[in-house]
Chains A and B, each alone.
Chain A
Amino acid sequence: METTVERESDPVEFDHSEIEYVSYGGEHHLPLIMRLVDAELSEPYSIFTYRYFVYLWPHLSFLAFHRGNCVGTVVCKMGEHRNTFRGYIAMLVVIKPYRGKGIATELVTRSIRVMMESGCEEVTLEAEVTNKGALALYGRLGFIRAKRLFRYYLNGVDAFRLKLLFPRSEMSRSLLAAIDRESSHLYDHCQPTVGSADVGSI
């Protein structure tokens, strides 16, 4: 699955405080996500693919709004994979005029934080080898290129499997506790949260 974050001309001017980050709230968010992903990402997905992610892991998907318009989204999942509890970033997209301003980073960061707090040991995703923007974004967050997958995409492009390993030390546990204390209402395991969650800046 994939990410697009190339810089484009004619960007929209906005203040960062104008961007509202919202956790997936229900069916009304699904068409927004689908529209964005179908338009911007290169791989074709069916509605069943979307439902799989947002039904089972609603707390891992986030949307970014600017003045009521959905300008970005991230869709993820997590689960057991060969004896590790692992998060997976399936789709990440920000529409062209809003790129290069840290929205994608913020969306991904929110998801990763939820994964970390849920006990994930690592996070993984695939990205096209040509997608320099995505590789730089994830590199800054601590992902390494674990593998190269030959002709992974339908258009014949290779992919990197990117992996982020969370620290397992005592220090990381107290770091998590500090995050817990600082943030206001975080996601609740049972229900998706609605409204922006300001969990501090990275």
Chain B
Amino acid sequence: MDPKMDSGIENCAYHSVEEAIENGIAPVPFSFNRTDDVQCTIDVMDHLLACEATWHKGNSLAQTVFSCIYLLRLERTSSHALLNSYCRIIRATCSAVVSVVSDARTHEEEDIFTMAYGLPLKGEGDEKCLSMLNAVEETISRQLRACKAQSSKKRVSEDTEPLQTNPDLEEGYCKALLSRIRFRKHFYHVLMCMRKPHGRGLELARKHIASCQSELACIRKSSEFLASNVRGGSQNDIEERTTASGCRPIGFDASLNSKLSAPTPPRAIKILSWNKKRKPDLVARAHLQVLLVQDGKLYGRDLIFDIISKAAALPEITKNYETQKNEFLVQLGQVIVIGMSQMVRVDWESYLGDLLINFLKILCTNLAWQRRKLGKILQDWTVTSVQAYKNESVSINEKLFSLLDTLSLIDTLSFVPWTLLTIALNCELGENSNVYVDENVCMKLSKHLLIWAEEQTYWIAYRFLTLGFELELYSPSEYCMVYWFIYCVLVKLSEQAQLKMVASTDAVKRKGKKKKDISKDALKDQKLSPVVLLLQCYICLSEGLTMMLAALRNEHNAFQTPSAFNTEEERFIQHFELLRRAHIPNDSIPTSYINNLQCTSDSLIVKELRSSFSSDPDRLDELRQIEQIAEHNRVALNVICQAGASDTSLKVSFEFTHGPCFAIAVVKRS
């Protein structure tokens, strides 16, 4: 068994916190030598920060933050203002994080442990932690001013007792302490601001985050000073040290809490080192989700359907939009009911709203979980469009139904939904409808909504596919099929984006036309928007990569994995099962994929890879990345083409040096 799996019931030296304290493990003060006392206080602060980060990454409070005996018995530190106020704000901060992560519920079991199991996470007076820390900060600021005045031979205006006894070290220690205290204050403010309702604290939180970053820079700078004044025991490994000074911190013992850690035996964990850089993770995501979705509204203030209306570019119908909208929603629901005979009425507003809220929450989860969830919701989103078809087709009289059947339009998504809706209404209404329906209004609005829903479906599919690269789910022999699928999805996404533009300009005139006619018109009439142009770039990248990989397979026998137990078809089916079930895209996939493998055209590939559109300046970084990928691959392709199919010494591999999704071919001669 891997020893990391179980830390074992280690023989801890002490049976209880009290026994440890009696044996002098956590003295208050650390030392009667004030310089040593300050140094030790700073070590505790640094180690606590490392513990906090380790906790955020998914370990128990007992083995991290609450391995600190001073935190376990905070009342003992009341005579030491600095230690007391610092521990108090740590406790309040952890309590706030537990609260937001629990509320957001974006975490899986292993993301973070929010259970405290009886550890003192809340204490009396914690709400005053900021003012206590402010008082300490004020004192140290005065001490810093005093020592600066003294060193520049200015007259000292106030009679301030220095921080510690060595005048040469006074400035360094004051600055080291101030940066740490200020960082904690700003971090606490960030947490408080982000919890303000309706996103009101967002701007202020941004400012505090910037302050946190500048204080962290100061903290890092202090490490040279602190390390050079080291006394006492040092942490052996410079890379693994948890304090700026490199000293082992006083007052920590994780084994004391072994009964309090969790229901399962404590795992052997390692506290993150001082030097380690980490990407923002769960705590940030939890805050993001809580900010975005409050009380079923965006930022707690914007109705979800209003957001959808804007995103779907629903046209303003009349001045009395609110009443019209409500009437429309009622009417739309009714329209669907007419089509459905016995089925339950679909309430568009809450259905689409629920889908969108769920989608936003999913985007705040960890990537592995996110991909699984995105795969699952694909069908929910697709149903939005299919439902309209199915409902309508059920109600249509025999003649029309058979006509649609002949045209193979019942089960396919390639037919524009509002057209079908029109046919249905033309047949059904005017007969026994007892509801007033403004046909044009309904047509316009439902068409917009369905186009928008379909666009989101393809966006979800695109994210599902590209996340597979970030999660390393694809082996090189599968890149070709994945890029091909990405290409198909991007093409549909681009079509939907263009359809949305067309629909928002001149929907009524085009009523009755087929979709492919419309997109042709769109291309002629409309200037392609930046969004669509950017999509075109990615389409070219994915198409180019597909063709390059296909050519390498066919001509160099590269990236093939013959398997004993199945063929490429089974692997294809498995990777894209969820997409197929959601009818994405709607061509028949397996055969066309296999056929496409045959096409290789050098000039076509180069042309595709060379194309890059000028786009919105806000996307410059993204464009640069695309250009670099295209350029690298173009060069690699030239090398491969020059070498020819017969050259077996060439080895081609793919690396993700410019972004996680689109690979760059690396050609080496073996």
Do the two chains bind?
Answer: yes
Chain A residues with CB under 8 Å of chain B are 38, 41-44, 109, 112, 116, 129, 139-142, 144-156, 158, 160, 163-167, 202
Candidate in A148, A153, A166, A167 with the most chain B CB atoms within 10 angstroms: A148
Interface size on B, residues (CB 8 A): 35
Q: Which of B471-500 contact A (CB under 8 A)?
A: 471-475, 478
Q: Which of A112, A154, A158, A167 contacts B570 (CB 8 A)?
A: A167
Chain B residues with CB under 8 Å of chain A are 1-2, 4-6, 58, 108, 110-111, 267, 269, 366-369, 371-372, 471-475, 478, 561, 563-567, 569-571, 573-575
Q: Which of A38, A147, A154 contacts B6 (CB 8 A)?
A: A154
Q: A109–B563 Cα gap in the complex (Å)?
A: 11
A165–B371 contact, CB under 8 A?
no
Candidate in A43, A146, A151 with the most chain B CB atoms within 10 angstroms: A151
With both chains docked as a complex, state the minimum distance between the C-beta of B388 and any C-beta of chain A, in angstroms.
29
A151: B residues at CB distance < 8 A: 58, 108, 110-111
Q: A164–B566 Cα gap in the complex (Å)?
A: 8
24 contacts between A and B (CB under 8 A): A43-B1, A109-B564, A140-B561, A141-B563, A142-B566, A142-B570, A142-B571, A147-B372, A148-B473, A150-B108, A150-B110, A150-B366, A150-B369, A151-B110, A151-B111, A154-B6, A155-B267, A156-B58, A164-B566, A164-B570, A166-B565, A166-B570, A167-B567, A202-B564
B369: A residues at CB distance < 8 A: 150
A146: B residues at CB distance < 8 A: 473, 574
B5–A43 contact, CB under 8 A?
yes
Q: Given A141-B564, A154-B267, A166-B570: A42 and B472 within 8 A (CB)? A: no
Closest to A163 in B: B574
With both chains docked as a complex, state the minimum distance between the C-beta of B559 and any C-beta of chain A, in angstroms.
12
A164: B residues at CB distance < 8 A: 565-566, 570
Q: Which of B6, B267, B478 contacts A144 (CB 8 A)?
A: B478
Q: Which of B2, B473, B565 contacts A43 (CB 8 A)?
A: B2
B368–A145 contact, CB under 8 A?
no
Q: A126–B2 Cα gap in the complex (Å)?
A: 17
Given contacts A142-B566, A148-B473, A154-B5, 10 further A-B contacts (CB under 8 A): A42-B1, A43-B1, A44-B1, A139-B561, A142-B563, A146-B473, A151-B108, A160-B473, A165-B571, A165-B573
With both chains docked as a complex, state the minimum distance between the C-beta of B517 and any C-beta of chain A, in angstroms.
39
Q: Given A44-B6, A129-B472: A158 and B564 within 8 A (CB)? A: no
Binding site of B, secondary structure by majority: helix, strand, loop or mixed? Answer: loop
Going nearest first, the 8 A-B pairs with the smallest beta carbon separation are A142-B563, A42-B2, A151-B110, A155-B4, A148-B368, A165-B570, A148-B471, A142-B566
Q: A69–B81 Cα gap in the complex (Å)?
A: 67
B478: A residues at CB distance < 8 A: 144
B566: A residues at CB distance < 8 A: 142, 164-167
With both chains docked as a complex, state the minimum distance between the C-beta of B115 and any C-beta of chain A, in angstroms.
16
B372: A residues at CB distance < 8 A: 147
A142: B residues at CB distance < 8 A: 561, 563-566, 570-571
With both chains docked as a complex, state the minimum distance between the C-beta of B29 and any C-beta of chain A, in angstroms.
37
With both chains docked as a complex, state the minimum distance between the C-beta of B285 and any C-beta of chain A, in angstroms.
13
Q: Given A141-B563, A145-B473, A154-B6: A167 and B569 within 8 A (CB)? A: yes
B1: A residues at CB distance < 8 A: 38, 41-44
Closest to A165 in B: B570
A163: B residues at CB distance < 8 A: 574
Q: A138–B570 Cα gap in the complex (Å)?
A: 15
B574: A residues at CB distance < 8 A: 144, 146, 163, 165
B267: A residues at CB distance < 8 A: 154-156
Q: A17–B529 Cα gap in the complex (Å)?
A: 67
Closest to B569 in A: A167
A155–B570 contact, CB under 8 A?
no
Closest to B475 in A: A139
Q: A165–B570 Cα gap in the complex (Å)?
A: 6
B565–A150 contact, CB under 8 A?
no
B573: A residues at CB distance < 8 A: 165
Q: A83–B472 Cα gap in the complex (Å)?
A: 28
Q: A42–B570 Cα gap in the complex (Å)?
A: 31
Q: A144–B472 Cα gap in the complex (Å)?
A: 11
With both chains docked as a complex, state the minimum distance between the C-beta of A130 and any C-beta of chain B, in angstroms.
11
With both chains docked as a complex, state the minimum distance between the C-beta of A55 and any C-beta of chain B, in angstroms.
23
Q: Given A38-B1, A41-B1, A109-B564: A150 and B368 within 8 A (CB)? A: yes
B575: A residues at CB distance < 8 A: 144
Q: A129–B471 Cα gap in the complex (Å)?
A: 10
Closest to A146 in B: B574
With both chains docked as a complex, state the minimum distance between the C-beta of A179 and any C-beta of chain B, in angstroms.
11
B564: A residues at CB distance < 8 A: 109, 141-142, 202
With both chains docked as a complex, state the minimum distance between the C-beta of A69 and any C-beta of chain B, in angstroms.
22
A144–B571 contact, CB under 8 A?
yes
Closest to B107 in A: A150
A150: B residues at CB distance < 8 A: 108, 110-111, 366, 368-369
A148: B residues at CB distance < 8 A: 367-368, 371, 471-473
With both chains docked as a complex, state the minimum distance between the C-beta of A132 and any C-beta of chain B, in angstroms.
11
A165: B residues at CB distance < 8 A: 566, 570-571, 573-574
B4: A residues at CB distance < 8 A: 42, 154-156
B110: A residues at CB distance < 8 A: 150-152, 156
B472–A116 contact, CB under 8 A?
no
With both chains docked as a complex, state the minimum distance between the C-beta of A109 and any C-beta of chain B, in angstroms.
7
A147–B368 contact, CB under 8 A?
yes
Closest to B269 in A: A156
Candidate in A141, A144, A167 with the most chain B CB atoms within 10 angstroms: A144
A155–B569 contact, CB under 8 A?
no
B368–A149 contact, CB under 8 A?
yes
Q: A160–B369 Cα gap in the complex (Å)?
A: 12
B58: A residues at CB distance < 8 A: 151, 156
Q: A164–B567 Cα gap in the complex (Å)?
A: 10
A145–B561 contact, CB under 8 A?
no
B2: A residues at CB distance < 8 A: 41-43, 155
With both chains docked as a complex, state the minimum distance between the C-beta of B84 and any C-beta of chain A, in angstroms.
34
With both chains docked as a complex, state the minimum distance between the C-beta of B42 and any C-beta of chain A, in angstroms.
29
Candidate in B474, B561, B565, B571 with the most chain A CB atoms within 10 angstroms: B565
Candidate in A140, A152, A164 with the most chain B CB atoms within 10 angstroms: A164
Q: A130–B377 Cα gap in the complex (Å)?
A: 30
Closest to A171 in B: B567
With both chains docked as a complex, state the minimum distance between the C-beta of B315 and any C-beta of chain A, in angstroms.
42
A144: B residues at CB distance < 8 A: 473, 475, 478, 571, 574-575
A166: B residues at CB distance < 8 A: 565-566, 570
Q: A149–B1 Cα gap in the complex (Å)?
A: 21
With both chains docked as a complex, state the minimum distance between the C-beta of B190 and any C-beta of chain A, in angstroms.
25
Candidate in A109, A155, A166, A202 with the most chain B CB atoms within 10 angstroms: A155
With both chains docked as a complex, state the minimum distance between the C-beta of A200 and any C-beta of chain B, in angstroms.
11
A41: B residues at CB distance < 8 A: 1-2
Q: A112–B478 Cα gap in the complex (Å)?
A: 22
Q: Given A142-B570, A165-B573: A158 and B6 within 8 A (CB)? A: no
Q: A189–B269 Cα gap in the complex (Å)?
A: 46
Q: A38–B3 Cα gap in the complex (Å)?
A: 11
With both chains docked as a complex, state the minimum distance between the C-beta of B476 and any C-beta of chain A, in angstroms.
10
